[in-house]
Amino acid sequence: MSKDSEEPAVDLLGDPLPEMSPPGRQNVKRGRAATVDEHERSHRDFLTEGETARLLTAAKAGRYGARDYCMLLLMYRHGLRVSELTGARRADIDLDAGRIWVKRNKDGLSTNQPLQGDELRALRAYLRMRKDYLPWLFLSSQGGQMTRQNVNYLIQQAGVRASLGHVHPHMLRHTCGHVLANKGTDTRLLQDWLGHRDIRHTAWYTRTSSKRFEGVWQD
């Protein structure tokens, strides 16, 4: 495990938390039964909008809160895979135009996507703290490029602080798809937003959208 993975966790009040056990073992070590919410969420591979808000709030409370919050917010809004996040460069961000170049992996469609106001504020707050000229958008605490292990660990930490149990990075991509599908986003537009090559992957979000079933029993 890298030194980044050993960064102390901080709860929402700023007090140190007990040393964390490996992912998936917190409840066993502490003798705490899973809550009803955690049990219900364990059967979903995405978060609700309320759960996402809790996760983002918890990310702010970490030792590197400005960085972690910004990372998770971008992953959620743009459906980023871990490798797409860690591979992002500062040059991919145009703060003046309010745009981010999302370079998709797996031969997906790369697109220039708009940034919302809270994303721009989060990026500016984080980048103001940077005193280096390294090309990577996000750096580890050791000053190197973020790794998959770094991202996995910080998201797991935020999930525990938010009382969400085990949360993994790809859940934010799925959450993006589900939220946009529930908002009625056109399937083709959603396909391009997520960078899917095969629209069948996108259709899964629209087919499972709760909005589809509203009014089924209405006369």
- The question of whether 170 is a catalytic residue gets the answer yes
* Predicted confidence (pLDDT) per residue in 12-29, tens digit: 223 332 333 333 333 433
Which residue in the list 104, 173, 174, 178 is annotated as catalytic? 173
Contact yes or no for 119/93 (Cβ under 8 A): no
Which residue in the list 106, 200, 207, 212 is annotated as catalytic? 106
Confidence grade of residue 193 (pLDDT, cut at 50, 70, 90): very high
* Predicted confidence (pLDDT) per residue in 65-76, tens digit: 999 999 999 999
Task: Quote the percentage of the chain above a pLDDT of 70.
Answer: 80
- The question of whether 200 is a catalytic residue gets the answer no
Q: Please, what CATH class does the domain formed by 46-169 belong to?
A: mainly alpha
CA distance 207 to 181: 9
* Predicted confidence (pLDDT) per residue in 98-145, tens digit: 999 999 998 899 999 999 999 999 999 999 999 999 999 999 999 999
- The question of whether 106 is a catalytic residue gets the answer yes
| pLDDT reported for residue 62 | 87
Q: CA distances (Å), 197 to each of 21, 67, 138, 178, 194, in order?
A: 38, 30, 27, 18, 9
pTM, full prediction: 0.79
* Predicted confidence (pLDDT) per residue in 148-188, tens digit: 999 999 999 999 999 998 899 999 999 999 999 999 999 99
Q: Kindly give the pairing relationship between strand 93-94 and strand 111-114.
A: unpaired
Confidence grade of residue 38 (pLDDT, cut at 50, 70, 90): low
